[in-house]
Structure 1
Amino acid sequence: MTDPYSLDNVPTPDRPRTPAGHRIARVVLWTVMLPTAAFNAASSFGGHTVASLGAGIVATGCIVGLIVSHVTGRRR
């Protein structure tokens, strides 16, 4: 007699693995975003508008890239 509560026969869904390129891209985006966000905060308190604007644009681009990577990864 088989045990209906056994976890041995539970089918697992086949999720495709995230390609290595996507993982590397996410690591690079996080690695760039965190220091630029910190630099953006520091330069905005220091009154350096141009530096703050540049760092903010780079940090925002990284955030957009991370969101796009997350959304495309969920569709697979």
Structure 2
Amino acid sequence: SPQPVTNKEFTKALAKVLKRPAFFRVPMFALKLFLGELADSITASIKAHPRRLIQNDFKFLYPEIKGALESLVK
């Protein structure tokens, strides 16, 4: 998908596709307790834009995250 999404948006979209609630949040201290430094990597936010692909008229199969997730869970 060419549109970047936050972890929260991704989780909401995945929950909707799976037809399950998405209300469970794990506190950061719990993640650090179980995962150590990996917790920082998991929760870090990097906005990646496919600028070059878009400039070169790349046609994305799924322009939005919901469509991409739906294709994965079929």
Same fold (TM over 0.5): no
Bigger share in helix: 1
TM-score in terms of structure 1 length: 0.28
Q: Point out which structure has higher relative CO (alpha carbons under 8 A, 6+ apart).
A: 2
When Rg is computed on C-alpha atoms for both structures, the one with the higher figure is 1
